Amino acid sequence: MIIVLKKTATPQELEHICQKVRELGLTPQVSRGVERTVIGVIGEEEKLQVQPLEVFPGVESVMAILRPYKLASRDYKAENTEFDMGLGVKVGGKKVVVMAGPCSVESYDSLLTVAKAVKKAGATFLRGGAFKPRTSPYSFQGLGEEGLKYLRQVGDEVGLLVVTEVMDTRLVELVSQYADMLQIGARNMQNFELLKECGMTKKPVLLKRGLSATVKDLLMSAEYLLSKGNFKVILGERGIRTFETSTRNTLDLNAIPVIKKETHLPVLVDPSHGTGYRDFVAPMAMAGVAAGCDGLMVEVHQNPEEAKSDGEQSLLPVQFEEMMRKARLIAQAVGRDI
């Protein structure tokens, strides 16, 4: 349920309403839009039946949100969500943010080489896995905290923000010390305890769509983050599992306009995992920009043949630079920038 306030509502009236909502055992979430301020009410809405909120000073109307994802819905917030990451980077704005780097952090020197290349080409985030969720227990699992240290050191040296995956509630505090943005991977999209823990940190989160998840499933997972007061969330389309075998996954570009219609949250496209082959990464990155995405995540490695993970879908730095040049032209054609 949302409480829509009058344009003339005072800060005192806003706080009075929020206090009454809390007294009912519910949680108020305030959203200040361009034209109106609304209060999203989280909890058992039946409790509101004993309290006629429509009569409170400053209230214009009280509306039920029919969608199960309340705070993620455009009913709650009509304007697109934008948030500042520092270093002059804003997620959800006119400029499409680009996150690039190796699948796994392998060494300081190799990470620094890639970071310098992607920064030169226009990336704003350095991506890389320190803790890797692998299908096989015998595959490279990442460098752990040592990898996090490399990410932070290289990011600071080159001038890139750091985004990396957190896999376990026990690692949230550790990863938060080094990363500017926490990534919740596809396999953990419905790890609800992890979602709640990341939501409470208030650290920006990249939430990737699960391998067999619907858009509704993705938005319901995002609701866990928002319900903890964390609205700095970007949703990631990274391909879903279908009957098609010519690519690693099926990159669902339909999801971009669908998500943009349903929610105010920004959306990112990962063409590396979405296709699984480097030849297809650049075309699908450009398609994602044309479809309206707010970000790209691309795997880049200086020597993919020797990469410890996902070498077959990693671009060489020169290929990434060419992809950025073409994607920038697409962005300009649809009124965006990279």
> Hey, is 164 helix, strand or coil?
strand
Query: Which one, of 254, 256, 234, 259, lies nearest residue 242 by Cα?
Result: 254
What pTM does this model have?
A: 0.89
| pLDDT, position 40 | 87
| pLDDT, position 80 | 96
Highest mean pLDDT among 62-76, 130-144, 205-219: 205-219
Whether 140 shows a pLDDT value over 80: the answer reads no
CA distance 23 to 47: 10
Extended beta strands in the chain, E state: 2-5, 27-32, 37-42, 59-63, 83-86, 89-91, 97-101, 125-127, 161-165, 181-184, 205-208, 233-237, 267-269, 295-299
| pLDDT, position 134 | 64
Residue-wise pLDDT for 284-300, tens only, equals: 999 999 999 999 999 99
Pairing of strands 125-127, 97-101: parallel
Amino acid letter, 13: E
Contacts of 32 (CB under 8 A, 6+ apart): none
Contacts of 62 (CB under 8 A, 6+ apart): 1, 2, 3, 4, 48, 53, 54
**Which value, to the nearest 10 degrees, does the dihedral of the CA atoms of residues 168, 174, 175, 177 take?**
160
Residue-wise pLDDT for 84-132, tens only, equals: 999 999 999 999 999 999 999 999 999 999 999 999 999 999 999 998 7
CA distance 165 to 183: 4
Q: Which two tokens stand for residue 199?
A: 């939501």
What are the structural domains, with CATH classification, of the chain?
A: 2-63 (3.30.70.1140), 83-333 (3.20.20.70)
Half-sphere exposure of 238 (CA within 13 A, CB side): 24
Query: Which one, of 38, 34, 33, 35, lies nearest residue 14 by Cα?
Result: 38
Question: Angle, nearest 10°, between helix axes 255-262 and 278-291?
Answer: 40
CA distance 80 to 27: 23
CA distance 277 to 32: 43
Given its phi and psi angles, is residue 146 left (phi above 0), alpha (psi -120 to 50 degrees) or beta? alpha
Residue-wise pLDDT for 1-41, tens only, equals: 889 999 889 999 999 999 988 888 888 889 887 778 899 88
Pairing of strands 161-165, 181-184: parallel
Q: Which two tokens stand for residue 236?
A: 């990631």
